[in-house]
Structure 1
Amino acid sequence: MNKFHVSVLLVTTIFMLIGCDPSATNPNVVFSEHKQDPIEELEMTADVDHSRLSYKETFYVPIYSDIYIDKENRTVLLSATLSVRNTTLKKSLYVNKIDYYDTDGTLIKSYLNAPLELPAMGTLNYIVEKEETKGGSGANFIIEVEGMDETVKPVIEAVMLGNFSNKAFAFSTEGTPVAH
């Protein structure tokens, strides 16, 4: 076998191995500081004593997977970044639920296997790629958080990005507390 064939075989094998690793294309892993899924990185291994936590709130966060752009009913796919921010200087925020729902209110995915601890002044960013079309134009997250007291209130937002023709646009939404 000549060097050319060996080189082609080697390059093909490398691309096949990279293609088998979903984390190689997951933007949440690629863009994280430690090259690890940010949710998995923050998940707790020890149980939290929930009796010590007096603040608990559930938030609804609208996510637009696509938007309509003209009278011909064309749509543009959008990417979204969900951002959960702990605004306290000294206390942790505990996130118990991050669930993603579609336009019809059907649960698409529960992102947490275990609660996660967001340290003081910490931020969790999570990307929903524009190729993810299951959510539709009315997609949303339900996020449940807990903290030591009422001073541990998070800021929860989503930023959507898209482009059409030679124009790009971005807009954001805020998490809204919901009644249980």
Structure 2
Amino acid sequence: MRYAIISITLAIGVFLSCKHHETQTVKLAKFDPVHIKVKNPVKKVKAQTFYLPVYSSIPFAEGKSFYGLSSFMAVHNTDFNNPIYITSVYYLDTEGNLIKDFLLSRVDTVMPMQTVNYFVPESDRSGVGANFILEWMADSAVNEPLVETIMVSLTSGQGVSFSSKGKILNELY
């Protein structure tokens, strides 16, 4: 009987000490770049020409063999408000010969905060000096895009991947 009274007293104490927690629903607001405060404004440009290295095959075994890699160039529009227009994407081999014109007289529009990519398959053997030449423009000065190439291979149970950043050859403010 004594244990029953102690147990009931403890149960009532625990019950009374518990606070009622209401479940709150959090409503996520739509992303709005207007609320972002810029402390250090970035350089704004209207057009650029990029050189981006691509390593479609890399040497190994004292340079006597080559390991093939697929690759792609990613173009990230980092401007919150304005599209950019990709006007040229050329892929050249180690000797500088044009292998592929990705756009063939069309223009790719990259909307604000959007990313596009251009892919080169692992079967390509354009060499360690292959490269992309990218030209883009905008209607007004925008944040310059982030442009990089990524090389990947996942053959024979092995994984190799790395990225490479390009060099601006020309730009218009």
Q: Give the TM-score normalised by structure 1.
A: 0.64
Separation of aligned partners in 1, 2:70 and 2:170: 28
Structure 1 consecutive aligned stretches of length 4 or more whose deviation exceeds 3 Å: 163-167
- 2:169 matches 1:178: yes
Is the contact between residue 102 and residue 118 of structure 2 (CA under 8 Å) also seen in structure 1?
no
**Higher strand share goes to which structure?**
2
| Partner in structure 1 of residue 22 of structure 2 | none
User: Aligned match of 1:123 in 86, 106, 115?
Assistant: 115
User: Which residue is 1:109 aligned to?
Assistant: 100
Q: Distance in 1 between matches of 2:169 and 2:113?
A: 24
Q: Tell whether the 8 Å contact from 1:79 to 1:128 is kept in structure 2 after alignment.
A: yes
Q: Give me the CA root mean square deviation.
A: 1.9
Please give the per-residue CA displacement for 1:135-163, whole angstroms capped at 9, x wherever unaligned: 22211000001123443311111110125
Structure label with greater radius of gyration: 2
C-alpha displacement at 1:164, in angstroms?
6.8
The residue that corresponds to 1:69 in the other structure is 60
Instruction: Give the distance between the partners of 2:155 and 2:113, measured in 1 at CA.
Output: 36
Counterpart contact for 1:160–1:171, Cα < 8 Å? yes
Give the 3-state SS of the residue equivalent to 1:130 in structure 2: coil
Query: Partner of 2:87 in structure 1?
Result: 96
Q: CA contact under 8 A between 1:155 and 1:175: conserved in structure 2?
A: no
Asked if 1:147 is matched to 2:138, the reply is yes
Q: Which residue of structure 2 aligns with residue 80 of structure 1?
A: 71
Task: Considering fraction of residues, name the structure with more helix.
Answer: 1
What is the identity, as a one-letter code, of the residue corresponding to 1:80? S
Unaligned runs of 5+ in 2: 1-44
Q: Deviation digits for residues 81-120 of structure 1, max 9, x if unmatched?
A: 2101100111001111000111011111111131121100
1: CA distance, partners of 2:147 / 2:63: 34
For 1:91, what is the secondary structure of its paired residue?
Answer: coil
Rounded Cα–Cα distance in structure 1 between residues aligned with 2:108 and 2:154: 34
Structure 1 residues 72, 65: closer, same or farther in 2, change over 3 A? closer
Percent identity (aligned)? 32
Q: Which amino acid in 2 is paired with 1:125? A: N
Q: Which amino acid aligns with 1:122?
A: Q
2:42 corresponds to which residue? none
1:87–1:72: structure 2 CA closer, same or farther, 3 Å change rule?
A: closer
In 1, the alpha carbon distance for the partners of 2:161 and 2:78 equals 24
1:57 and 1:65 mapped to 2: Cα distance?
24
Structure 1: 5+ residue stretches without partners: 1-53
